[in-house]
Structure 1
Amino acid sequence: MLTVILECRNHEPELTQTLSVLVTGAVEGLVRDVIILDLDRADGVARIADAAGCLYHTQWDIKDIVRNARGSWLLFVEPGARPQPGWVDGISEHILISRMPAHFSPARGYRQPLIKRLLRSTPPLELGLLIAKEEALASAEKAETVNDILKGQKPKRLSAELIPSWVMRAKAR
């Protein structure tokens, strides 16, 4: 089973897009729960979390969040990121055969031009992070934030693709 963790900062439209894709995982029995960490205490995020049945936090200790997650695996994604069809099978297969952390492959139709990919640093969660709860707990002992858990991870690439959150933000401009 999988717990999905999203950290938000006034990302209501992006959050709804990501949650709508996660429904497939819940229906197929992969996604056990979704935790939303709201950095700005936005009313819109709270309403969306409530309507979707997500756990919602405005203050948290990342160690407690990881410890209390119901899934044996955690998936950290950015609001607005959208796993593509086949993501449930890709994650299920990885969980069955590996204990290593993993991230999605970038969706083929939504890659940045080569020069941009070379010149910019990739945000830690751009392709998400799938990690076993035990490993996340070990990383969380030294962590203050979600990004601290991600430091030092060397994830394997999943066959499943993800449209990064920057695509939705670029379309909104």
Structure 2
Amino acid sequence: MLTVLIETHNDEEGLARTLSSLVAGSVEGVVREVLVHDRGSTDHTTLVADHTGCVLVGEGDLPARLRHARGDWFLVLEPGARLTDGWTEAVMLHMTATSKPARFTRSRIGRPRFLARLFSTRRPFADGLLISKRQALALLKDGAELKTIARRLSTTRTPAEIVSSPKR
């Protein structure tokens, strides 16, 4: 079904928060695996990933690991982001209804004020990214990074909400 990808760098607390919101999806069989792409953390990020059963992915291993991912869809999240209750149903409905990429609806909880949103740099995974494995691999063939692709991608919105990471 779904492979979750979280890119980290010294994000032990944020990673733990994000992983806790994925438990419902794992229990329901929606989440097949969680890949943690660590970019050289010096804190306990890798321990958190290891103790929770995530697959650690090194710097140069990401493209090969994505090709061998167990899920038919990828869900890319920032460490610290939390999915709200009911996200699994919305994701399942989206995956069965369309093959278009999607983002979550940003929750009012923890959302920055209007001017802060207006003048801040747009983070490519602040609202998560749900994309089919086939489409992601086709876009990554040209050597582009996932962040670059996410910025250019036209997406729809799922009714499920995400509480964005406060730090990034």
TM-score, with length taken from structure 2: 0.93
Specify the alignment match of 2:153 in structure 1: 153
Q: Distance in 2 between the 1:58 and 1:79 partners?
A: 16
Matches for 1:86-105 after TM superposition, within 5 Å: 86-105=86-105
* 1:43 shift after superposition: 5.4
Per the TM alignment, residue 68 of structure 1 is displaced from its structure 2 partner at its CA by 1.3
Corresponding residue of 2:79: 79
The code of the aligned residue for 1:149 comes to I
Following the alignment from structure 2 to structure 1, what is the Cα–Cα distance between the partners of residues 64 and 149?
13
Query: 1:162 maps to what in 2?
Result: 162
Classify 1:150/1:65 alpha carbon distance in 2 versus 1 (closer, same or farther; 3 Å).
Answer: farther
1:29-50 superposed Cα distances (whole Å, 9 cap, x missing partner): 1000000011014351221111
Distance (Å, rounded) in 2 between the aligned partners of 1:98 and 1:20: 27
The answer (yes or no) to whether the contact 2:8–2:41 under 8 Å persists in 1 is no
Q: Could you tell me how far 1:144 is from its partner in structure 2?
A: 4.5
Task: Kindly provide the amino acid, as one letter, of the partner of residue 148 in structure 1.
Answer: T
Greater helix share, 1 or 2? 1
Summarize the alignment of residues 14-163 of structure 1 with structure 2, pairs less than 5 Å apart.
14-42=14-42, 44-163=44-163
| Secondary structure in structure 2 of the residue aligned to 1:149 | helix
Identify if the C-alpha distance between structure 1 residues 113 and 139 changes in structure 2 by more than 3 Å, giving closer, same or farther.
same
CA–CA distance in structure 2, aligned partners of residues 22 and 143 of structure 1: 29
In structure 2, distance between residues paired with 1:130 and 1:143: 20
- Whether contact under 8 Å (2:6, 2:35) holds in the other structure is yes
What is the CA distance between 1:149 and its match in structure 2? 3.3
> Are the equivalent residues in 1 in contact too, given 2:37–2:62 (CA < 8 A)?
no
Instruction: State TM-score, norm by structure 1.
Output: 0.91
Q: Please tell me whether the aligned partners of residues 25 and 31 of structure 1 are also in contact (alpha carbons under 8 angstroms).
A: yes
- AA partner of residue 89 (structure 2): D
| TM-fit CA distance, 1:63 | 2.1
Percent identity of equivalent pairs: 37
Quick one: distance in 1 between partners of 2:62 and 2:140?
Answer: 7
Return closer, same or farther for 1:41/1:109 CA change in 2, 3 Å cut-off. Answer: closer
- The CA distance in 2 between the partners of 1:111 and 1:47, in whole Å, is 29
Q: Secondary structure at the match of 1:74?
A: strand
RMSD (Å), alpha carbons: 1.6
CA distance in 2 between partners of 1:158 and 1:142 (Å): 28
How many pairs align? 168
Listed as ranges, the gaps of 5+ residues in structure 1 are none
Structure 2, unpaired ranges of 5+ = none
Q: Show structure 1 runs of 4+ deviating over 6 A.
A: none
